[in-house]
Amino acid sequence: MELLVFIALLLVLVGILAYHRASLTLFTAAIGGLLVLGSFFGTVGLVGWILFAAVALPLNIASIRQQHITKPLLKLYRKIMPEMSTTEKEAIDAGTTWWEGDLFRGNPDWHKLHNFPKPRLSAEEQAFLDGPVETVLRMVDDWHVTHERTDLSPEVYAYLKDQGFFAMIIKKQYGGLEFSAYAQSCVLQKLTSKSMVLSSTVGVPNSLGPGELLQHYGTKEQQDYYLPRLAKGLEVPCFALTSPEAGSDAGAIPDFGVVCKGEWEGKEIVGMRLTWNKRYITLAPIATVLGLAFKLQDPDNLLGDKEDLGITCALIPVSTAGVKIGRRHFPLNVPFQNGPTQGQDVFVPLDYIIGGPAMAGQGWRMLVECLSVGRAITLPSNSTGGIKSVALATGAYARIRRQFKLPIGKMEGVEEIMARIGGYAYMSDASTTMSVGSIDLGEKPSVISAITKYHMTERMRQAIIDAMDVHGGKGICMGPNNYLARGYQGAPVAITVEGANILTRNMIIYGQGAIRCHPYVLAELQAAQLEDERAAVTAFDRALFGHIGFSISNFFRTFWLSLTNSAFSHAPVQDETAKYYKQMNRFSSALALMSDIAMATLGGDLKRRERISARLGDILSMLYITSSILKRYNDEGRQVQDLPLVQWGCEDNLYRAQLALDELFDNFPNRAVGILFKRVVFPFGRSLRRPSDQVEHQVARIMQTPCEARSRLGTHLYLTDEPNNLLGQLEKALTDILAAEPLFDKVMHAANKKLPFYRLNEVAELGLSLGVLSQAEAEKLRVAEVGRLKTINVDDFDPIDMMADKSLLESDAKAAVQAA
Ligand SMILES: Cc1cc2nc3c(=O)[nH]c(=O)nc-3n(C[C@H](O)[C@H](O)[C@H](O)COP(=O)(O)OP(=O)(O)OC[C@H]3O[C@@H](n4cnc5c(N)ncnc54)[C@H](O)[C@@H]3O)c2cc1C
C-alpha cells in the first residue's frame, strides 16, 4: 500500500468517525485496525506504531492522562478564565435549555423537534377567548383610550379585574385562572389586535411581578393573603427594579434597605428602612402593592454575620407611610399606566420580604428565574399579535387601495414590502407558539426567551414601518380611523423593556446560550471551581476530553456538510422543505465549530467582543426561528397553501444566518483564524439567496386574498365587523370589494366603458338602468363603495379640537387685541 493512499485512508477514517461522533475507544480501535492493515501491506513500520502508541496510550489510560495532561491544563484554565460576578452566575444558573441546546450542539434531531407536542387550548381557555376577551374588546375604543382619556375607562378596569385578566398565571387554589402559557399568549395576541394599551395592561401583572414571585418564593402567609386578593383584583401590583442610575445594568441599583430596629404598630421590631427612587414602573400610578427591588444591608448584624446581603425583593403596600407613587410617564402616545415611585427611610417589617427574611439577598436569582419565563410570553405575544394584525390590515388595504388603475398590492415594489410583513407574521406566530409551548412542557427557557423577545419585537418594529410605507398618508394621518399609527409610535416600548434589545442581542442571547447550551463548557467551569482537587481533575478530564472530541467532530462535520452543500445530510421529510432542514444541519454544525473556535481564541475576552457574540447569537436565533417555522408547518398538517410563507421565512432566516457567519469571519479578531475557517465553512463562497421575487409575489397574493392560508395567518385576532373595530371593518371591506369587482366588470362590459374603480354606487345605478344587475347585486356595489371610502379616507379635525391646551385660545385672543 502506498504511503499516500494510507494517509488518505487514515484521513477518511478519522473524518467518518468524527462525523458520527465516535468514542475515543472506537477511534483508537479503528485506527489500530488500519495500522494492522498498513503493516500487512508493508506501508506501516515500527515508527508508525511507536507514534500511535505515544498518542493512544496516554489518551486511553485515565491515570496517565489525568496526571500528565489534564492537571496542567486545569491549572492553565484556572489562570485564564475570568471571574464571574454573582449576578452573572445567577443568570447562568437560572432557567433551562431546550431545543436551542440541540441546535447549538451541531447535530439537531429533527424527529425530536416534530415530536414536541403542539400547544392546544383547553375548553375553558377557548371559552375565555370567545367570551370575556371579546367582551372587553367590544368595550374598548382605541382612539378614546389613547387620545381622549389617555387611559382605559373605569368600566374596563373593573371588568378586567372581575374576570381574572390580571390572574391568568395565578393558581386556581387561590382563585386565579391558572392558564397555560399558550393560552396567555393567545389572549394577549387577541387584545393587541385592537389595543396595545389593553394588552400591555393585562400583560404586565401576568409577567414578571408580585404574582409570579409570590407563587414561586412567597411564604405561605404571603401567598394566602396576597394571591386571592390579586386574583380578585382587590390588589393591583407593579414591580419596581429600574432606577434613573440603573437601567440595563439593573444589578447596580443604588436603592437600599438597612436592617434596623424601629416602631411598627406600636411595638419595637426588627425591620428595614428603605430608600428608593424608581422610574418607568408599569402600573405604578394605579398600583396598590409595590414590588420593590433594593440592596439590603445589615450593618448591625441583626440577621447574621453578613453585612451586605444583596438584592432583595419585598412587597410594600402603597398605603405605607412615606411611599410616593401616582405620577405618570407618557410612553409614546400608548398611554398605559407607567410612572415613578420614591421612598425615603420608609420603615417596614422584615416579613415584607418576598419569602420572608430567609430570602434576603436572593432577589436577583428570583428575578432572573421568573424573567426567563415571562420574557417568552408577554412581549413576543404582543408583538406577534401586532405583526399578524398589520399583515392582515396591509393585505386588505393594498387590495382595496388603487393607484394607476391597479390595486397597489399588485405592484412589484409593494409586493416586496408586503412579503416581508407576511413572512414575519407567519414566523412570529411559529416562534412564539413554540417558545410558550416549551414553558407548558415545564421548561424555564432563558435563552429562548431572549431570542424570542429580541427577534419578535424587532420584526414587529420592521413590520409596522413597512406597513406605514404601504399605507402612505393613510398611515400618517392620525384619528379614530387610523389603525397603524399607535403601533408605529409604540414600537420602541417593546424594544426597550425587559432587557433593551441592543443589550439582549449583544450580551444575553449568546452570552447565556454559549454556556448553558454547550455540552461541556459549563461542566468545565464547574469542575474548575471544585475544592476537592482529585474530584476537580476527574470532572475536568471528562469535560475537557469530551469537549476536544466534540470540536474535532464539528470540524469534520462542518467541512463535509459545506463541501457537499449538505446534499447528503438528513432531513425528516422529502418535500420542498427538505433543503431547509439540510441547510440547518450545516449551519448548526458551523455554529458549534465557531463557538469553540471563538471561545478558544478569545477566552474570557469574548464577553467584551460583543459584536462577535452578537453574530454567533444571530446564527443560533436564525436556526431557532427557522426550526419553529418548519415545526409549525408540520404541526398544521403541511398545508401546501402555506408553502410560500414557509419558504419566505426559511430562506430569509437562513440567508441571515449565512450573512452573520460571513461577517463573523470577516471581523474575527484573529485574522488568520477568520480566513482559514471561512474556507472551511464557505469553500465555494456564499450559496444561499434571499427569497425570490416569485415567492414574494405568492406571499403578497395570500395576504390580499381571503383563503385558508390567510385565515391561518390571522388566527387569534379580533376580526369582528363592528363599529369601533377597524381591523374587523377592513376585513369586511376586503370581502365586499372582491365581491363587487366582477359586478363592476359586468357593468363596464355592458356599457362598453372603462371607468375607474370608484363611485361604485353610481356604477350600481348604471348597471340597474342597463338591466345587467339585480337589486341585490347593485346593493353589493353600494356596500363595497361605503367600505372602500371608509378604508381610504382619513380623519380631519377642527383646529380648536386639536389643541391640547384650550386656554391658549384665550391668551392668543388677548395678545391679538393688545397688538391691535
Ligand atoms: C415603558 C416602560 C415600561 C417599563 N416597565 C418597567 C417595570 O414595570 N419595572 C421595571 O423595573 N422597569 C421597567 N422598565 C425599565 C426597562 O426595563 C428599562 O428601560 C430597560 O431595562 C433599559 O434601561 P434604560 O431605559 O435605562 O436604558 P439604558 O440602560 O440606559 O440603555 C441604553 C441603551 O444602551 C444599551 N446597552 C446598555 N448596556 C449595554 C451593553 N452592555 N451592551 C450593549 N448595549 C447596551 C441598551 O440596550 C439601550 O439600547 C420600563 C421601561 C419603559 C420604557
For 595-653, the pLDDT digits (tens) are 999 998 988 788 889 999 999 999 999 999 999 999 999 999 999 999 999 999 999 99
Active site residue 498: yes
365 CA → ligand 1 middle, Å: 19
End-to-end CA distance of the chain: 111
Compute the distance between CA of residue 615 and CA of residue 667 in angstroms, rounded to an integer.
10
Angle at 565 between CA 564 and CA 566, to 5 degrees: 85
Residue 94: pLDDT band (50, 70, 90) is: confident
Identity of residue 720: T
Does 547 score more than 80 pLDDT?
Answer: yes
Residue 343: pLDDT band (50, 70, 90) is: very high
The verdict on the CB of residue 494 being under 6 Å from ligand 1 is: no
Write down the residue that cell numbers 427611610 correspond to. Answer: 345
506 CA → ligand 1 middle, Å: 14
**What pLDDT does 1 receive?**
58
Task: Enter the DSSP assignment of 144.
Answer: I
Least reliable range by pLDDT among 255-259, 751-755, 804-808: 804-808
Distance of CA 692 to the CA centre of its chain: 26
Ramachandran angles phi, psi of 348, nearest 5°: -140, 160
Provide the pairing of β-strand 256-264 with 289-297. Answer: parallel
Q: Span 565-583, mean pLDDT?
A: 96
Specify whether the CB–CB gap between 635 and 119 falls below 8 A.
no
For residue 64, what is the enclosing H or E element? helix 62-65
The verdict on the CB of residue 239 being under 6 Å from ligand 1 is: yes
Please state, for a pLDDT cut of 90, what percent of the chain lies above it: 88
**What pLDDT does 218 receive?**
97
Compute the distance between CA of residue 571 and CA of residue 585 in angstroms, rounded to an integer.
9
The verdict on the CB of residue 394 being under 6 Å from ligand 1 is: no
499 CA → ligand 1 middle, Å: 6
The verdict on the CB of residue 248 being under 6 Å from ligand 1 is: yes
Distance of CA 271 to the CA centre of its chain: 40
Which residues have a Cβ under 8 Å from the Cβ of 503 and sit 6 or more positions away? 248
Q: Whose CA is nearest to atom 2 of ligand 1?
A: 280
670 CA → ligand 1 middle, Å: 33
Which residues have a Cβ under 8 Å from the Cβ of 124 and sit 6 or more positions away? none
Q: Model confidence over 679-697: pLDDT tens digits?
A: 999 999 999 999 999 999 9
Q: Model confidence over 277-299: pLDDT tens digits?
A: 999 999 999 999 999 999 999 99
Q: Which residue out of 369, 415, 443, 498 is catalytically annotated?
A: 498
Supply the mean pLDDT for the chain. Answer: 95
Q: What share of the chain is helix, strand, coil (3-state, %, to 5)?
A: 65, 10, 25
Quote the cell numbers at residue 206: 401576568
Please, what is the angle between helix 485-496 and helix 363-400, to 10°? Answer: 160
Specify whether the CB–CB gap between 513 and 445 falls below 8 A.
no
Which residue among 241, 245, 248, 509 has the greatest number of ligand 1 atoms within 8 angstroms of its CB, and so is best to mutate? 248
Listing DSSP states for 325-341 in one string gives E------TT---SEEEE
The verdict on the CB of residue 242 being under 6 Å from ligand 1 is: yes
Provide the pairing of β-strand 267-282 with 338-349. Answer: antiparallel
Q: Where would I find the beta strands (DSSP E) of 378-478?
A: 402-403, 406-407
Other Cβ atoms less than 10 A from the Cβ of 641: the count is: 13
Which residues have a Cβ under 8 Å from the Cβ of 393 and sit 6 or more positions away? 467, 483, 484, 726, 727, 730
The verdict on the CB of residue 277 being under 6 Å from ligand 1 is: no
Q: Model confidence over 18-69: pLDDT tens digits?
A: 998 899 999 999 999 999 999 998 888 899 899 999 999 989 999 999 999 9
Quote the cell numbers at residue 47: 515508527
Measuring CA to CA, which residue among 12, 114, 62 is closest to residue 627?
114
The verdict on the CB of residue 508 being under 6 Å from ligand 1 is: no
Task: Enter the DSSP assignment of 374.
Answer: H
Does 83 score more than 80 pLDDT?
Answer: no
Write down the residue that cell numbers 506501516 correspond to. Answer: 44
Quote the cell numbers at residue 380: 413576543
179 CA → ligand 1 middle, Å: 29
**What pLDDT does 346 receive?**
98
SS3 301: coil
Compute the distance between CA of residue 199 and CA of residue 166 in angstroms, rounded to an integer.
11
Compute the distance between CA of residue 460 and CA of residue 420 in angstroms, rounded to an integer.
11
Does 88 score more than 80 pLDDT?
Answer: no
Q: Quick one: 233 exposed, middle or buried, by C-beta within 10 A (0-12, 13-18, 19+)?
A: buried
Listing DSSP states for 247-298 in one string gives SS-GGG---EEEEEEEEETTEEEEEEEEEEEEEEEETGGG-SEEEEEEEEE-
Please state, for a pLDDT cut of 70, what percent of the chain lies above it: 99
Most distant CA pair in the chain: distance in Å? 116
Other Cβ atoms less than 10 A from the Cβ of 720: the count is: 15
Q: Quick one: 742 exposed, middle or buried, by C-beta within 10 A (0-12, 13-18, 19+)?
A: exposed
Which residues have a Cβ under 8 Å from the Cβ of 351 and sit 6 or more positions away? 219, 221, 222, 357
Q: Model confidence over 111-158: pLDDT tens digits?
A: 999 999 999 999 999 999 999 999 999 999 999 999 999 999 999 999
243 CA → ligand 1 middle, Å: 10
Which residue among 88, 208, 503 has the greatest number of ligand 1 atoms within 8 angstroms of its CB, and so is best to mutate? 503
Which residues have a Cβ under 8 Å from the Cβ of 50 and sit 6 or more positions away? none
Does 794 score more than 90 pLDDT?
Answer: yes
The verdict on the CB of residue 496 being under 6 Å from ligand 1 is: yes
Q: Model confidence over 640-656: pLDDT tens digits?
A: 999 999 999 999 999 99
Task: Enter the DSSP assignment of 692.
Answer: P
SS3 806: coil
Q: Span 733-758, mean pLDDT?
A: 97
Q: Whose CA is nearest to atom 48 of ligand 1?
A: 500
141 CA → ligand 1 middle, Å: 30
The verdict on the CB of residue 506 being under 6 Å from ligand 1 is: yes
Compute the distance between CA of residue 315 and CA of residue 139 in angstroms, rounded to an integer.
32
Other Cβ atoms less than 10 A from the Cβ of 676: the count is: 13
User: What is the reported pTM?
Assistant: 0.95
Please, what is the angle between helix 671-681 and helix 533-563, to 10°? Answer: 50
